[in-house]
Amino acid sequence: MTTQARRQKAAASAEHRFHNAQGAEVKTRDEAFAAQQEVSPEAVSTTARLELHNGATVTWELEVKYNPNTHPYVVLGGQITGTIAGPPWNITGGFIGDTLRLDAKRHDGTATVTIVGEYQNPPAYRGTYGFNGATSSFKHTTVYHC
């Protein structure tokens, strides 16, 4: 092998760095594409804070856990507090995307609430909500909270 061929081979091998699905550097391409390790549910969830407003008297604070690796974002859980009757309410499911749907159950299991809405600019959802199976009893605007 010539000196030039050795240099080219060394340069080519120095450029190849491999990382697996978890972001860790590995030695070979095969290790990089090996079956992905199990990831705990906590590793694929994040939290968004929202505020639901219905006129001057109703303000709900929503802490929504969702999977950021999906779209629309799949809601994994969370909690609603504020002026909602009998807080806290546990968010049991739904999604956040071009439209919004959040399902929640009162902490004692005696009632449910469903919130639906459509995305609008500036960033917010405008829609309706209702209790115990209804989805259109009350109007709301739900905004992102910092």
User: To 5 degrees, how large is the angle CA 11–CA 17–CA 20?
Assistant: 165
Decide if 48 contacts 66 (C-beta within 8 A). Answer: yes
Q: Is the pLDDT of residue 86 over 70?
A: yes
What pLDDT, on a 0 to 100 scale, did the predictor assign at position 23?
66
Q: What average pLDDT is seen over the chain?
A: 84
* CA angle, 51 then 122 then 81, to 5°: 5
**Which whole number is the average pLDDT over 56-69?**
91
Give the confidence band of 98 by pLDDT, cuts at 50, 70, 90.
very high
pLDDT at 17: 76
pLDDT number for residue 18: 72
Instruction: Say what the pLDDT of residue 10 is.
Output: 54
Higher per-residue confidence, 114 vs 146? 114
- pLDDT of 87 strictly over 80: yes
Give DSSP secondary structure letters for the chain. Answer: --HHHHHHHHHHHHH--EE-TTS-EESSHHHHTSPPPP--GGGG-EEEEEEEEETTTEEEEEEEEEETTSSSEEEEEEEEEESSSSS-EEEEEEEESSEEEEEEEETTSS-EEEEEEEEETTTEEEEEEEETT-S-SEEEEEEE--
Instruction: Assess whether pLDDT exceeds 60 at residue 78.
Output: yes
List domains and CATH numbers for the chain: 3-32 (no CATH), 41-144 (2.40.128)
